[in-house]
Amino acid sequence: MKTQYYTASSLDGFIATPDDSLEWLFPLGDINATGYPAFIAEVGALAMGSSTYEWMLRHVVRPNTAHPGAWPYEQPAWVFSSRSHAPVPGARIRFVRGDVRPVHAEMRAAAGGKNLWLVGGGDLVGQFHDAGLLDEVIVQVGSVTLGSGKPLLPRRITQPSLRLVAARRIGDGFAELRYEVPRAPGPAA
Ligand SMILES: NC(=O)c1ccc[n+]([C@@H]2O[C@H](COP(=O)([O-])OP(=O)(O)OC[C@H]3O[C@@H](n4cnc5c(N)ncnc54)[C@H](OP(=O)(O)O)[C@@H]3O)[C@@H](O)[C@H]2O)c1
C-alpha cells in the first residue's frame, strides 16, 4: 500500500491557473494514453482539498443543472475543508479538517490493501509529506507554461531529494515522471 500524489502539472509547476481553470490541460492528450487507467485500478481510497472538490462539482457533478453528472470515483473519498459542503448523493465522501494523520489511518483502513491517492492540491499533499506519509509523486508534466497558479507541491524537499524511478514520453503533450519519496534519515544510532 502506497500513498501517492498523482497529478498533471504545467512545465513551470502549476496544477491549475490562479482561478482554478484546467482548460490548458485537456488539449494536451488523452487520459487513457497515460498511466491513469492502471493507476486508478490500484487505488483504494482518495483525498482532496476543497478547491479540487469544488472543481469536481462545477465541472463533473454539476448539481442543479439540466445535465448533472455522476461522482467519478467508486473508492471512498475524504475532502478536507474548514467549511460545510453539500454532499453528492450516492457518493462515498467524508468531509474532514485539520491533522492529516488520523485521516490517513482511516483511509488505510478503508482501502483494502490498495493504494491511497492524494488528488491535490499541492499544499494538502505537503501536509501529508510533512507528516512522513507521502511515498510517491507521479506527475504528467504538460508541454505548457502558465506563469502563475496553484502550485504542484509547495515544499522544499532537497535532502534527501526525490528519487526519479521512471520517465515516459506521452506523445508531444506530456512527460510522465514517477518519483519515490525517500524517508528522511533518522537520528544517528
Ligand atoms: N492538474 C491536475 O491534474 C489537478 C489535480 C488536482 C487538482 N487540480 C486543481 O488544482 C486546484 C487545487 O487547488 P488548491 O491548490 O487550492 O488546493 P485544494 O487542496 O484543492 O484546496 C485547498 C483548500 O482545501 C482546504 N484544506 C486544505 N487542507 C486542509 C486541512 N488540513 N483542513 C481543512 N481544510 C483544508 C482549505 O480550504 P477551506 O478550509 O476554505 O475549505 C484550502 O484552502 C483546483 O483547481 C483543482 O481542480 C488539478
Q: What are the residue ranges spanned by the domains of the chain?
A: 3-11+19-115+131-180
Per-residue cell: 178: 514517477
User: 31 falls in which pLDDT band (50, 70, 90)?
Assistant: confident
Ligand 1 pocket mutation pick from 9, 19, 124 by most atoms within 8 angstroms of CB: 124
Structure confidence by residue, pLDDT tens digits, 37-71: 999 999 999 999 999 999 999 999 999 899 999 99
Ligand 1 atom closest to the CA of 25, numbered from 1: 1
Q: Ligand 1: distance of its center to the CA of 34 in Å?
A: 23
Q: Ligand 1: distance of its center to the CA of 22 in Å?
A: 14
Instruction: Please name the residues in contact with 14: beta carbons below 8 A apart, sequence gap of 6 or more.
Output: 146, 148, 149, 150, 151, 152
User: 114 falls in which pLDDT band (50, 70, 90)?
Assistant: very high
What residues line ligand 1, using a CB cutoff of 6 Å? 7-8, 15-16, 20, 22, 25, 48-52, 55, 80-83, 97-98, 119-122, 124, 127, 150
- Confirm if 140 and 68 have CB atoms less than 8 A apart: no
Which residue intervals of the chain are DSSP H helices?
36-41, 50-56, 100-110, 122-130
- Distance from the first to the final alpha carbon of the chain: 28
Instruction: Quote the CA–CA distance of 24 and 26 in Å, as a whole number.
Output: 6
CATH superfamily of 3-11+19-115+131-180: Dihydrofolate Reductase, subunit A (3.40.430.10)
Average pLDDT estimate for 77-102:
96
Percent of the chain residues topping a pLDDT of 90 = 92
pLDDT at residue number 49:
98
Percent of the chain residues topping a pLDDT of 70 = 97
Average pLDDT estimate for 90-116:
98
